[in-house]
């Protein structure tokens, strides 16, 4: 089992959800986040009460899905297909090993619980 975590542009939220639904994913979590990547955030200047300040952090969203190992390649290629614009800031995918999963209702463990 693996957790596929991806950080993507806010604009691709709906297409991403529709695309991963086609892959028969059993669940997912979405979080609104801010962050920056290797460009350290494109510094935008704004003025608040007459004082100029720069905004470094970009709004993104994070999707987390725990899937069985054989699904990982499909999930990753689907994310890339939806999210790639070839411009900086397209996002990142991180893959984590999952030690255990337990479905609370039944007590099932491992792959059966995912
Ligand atoms: N090393 C990292 N660790 C954790 N989060 C990251 C990391 N790199 C990027 N992120 C997150 O992913 C978002 C998008 O990153 P981004 O696509 O700009 O990465 P990048 O390495 O700068 O690639 P690119 O050159 O294509 O812009 C960031 O705003 C940040 O939230
Ligand atoms: Mg970047």
Task: State the distance from the centre of ligand 2 to the C-alpha of 92, rounded, in angstroms.
Answer: 9
Residue whose Cα lies nearest atom 4 of ligand 1: it is: 37
Q: Where are the domains of the chain?
A: 2-113
pLDDT score, position 45: 78
Q: What's the CATH code, domain 2-113?
A: 3.30.70.120
The whole-model pTM stands at 0.91
Give residue 30's Cα distance to chain centre: 7
Residue whose Cα lies nearest atom 6 of ligand 1: it is: 37
pLDDT tens-digit series, residues 18-73: 999 999 899 999 999 999 998 877 677 778 888 888 878 889 999 999 999 999 99
Q: What are phi and psi of 99, to 5 degrees?
A: -75, -40
Residue whose Cα lies nearest atom 9 of ligand 1: it is: 37
Query: E-assigned strands of the chain?
Result: 2-9, 29-35, 44-48, 51-55, 58-67, 92-97
Residue 12 has pLDDT above 90, yes or no: yes
Which residues, including other chains, have CB under 8 Å from residue 80's CB and lie 6 or more apart?
93
pLDDT tens-digit series, residues 65-97: 999 999 999 999 999 999 999 999 999 999 999
pLDDT score, position 42: 66
Pocket test for ligand 1, best of 92, 93, 95 (most atoms within 8 A of CB): 92
* Ligand 1 neighbourhood includes 74 CB (under 6 angstroms): no
pLDDT score, position 65: 97
Q: How far is CA 110 from CA 1, 63, 105, in A?
A: 8, 21, 14
């Amino acid at each position: 089992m693996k957790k596929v975590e991806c950080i993507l542009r806010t604009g691709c939220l709906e297409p991403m959800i529709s695309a991963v639904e086609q892959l028969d994913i059993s669940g997912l979590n979405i979080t609104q986040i801010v962050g920056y990547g290797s460009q350290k955030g494109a510094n935008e200047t704004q003025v608040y009460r007459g004082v100029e300040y720069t905004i470094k952090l970009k709004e993104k969203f994070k999707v987390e899905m725990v899937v069985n190992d054989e699904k990982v390649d499909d999930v990753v290629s689907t994310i890339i297909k939806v999210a790639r614009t070839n411009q900086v800031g397209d996002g990142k995918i991180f893959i984590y090993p999952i030690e255990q999963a337990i479905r609370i209702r039944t007590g099932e463990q491992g792959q059966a619980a995912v």
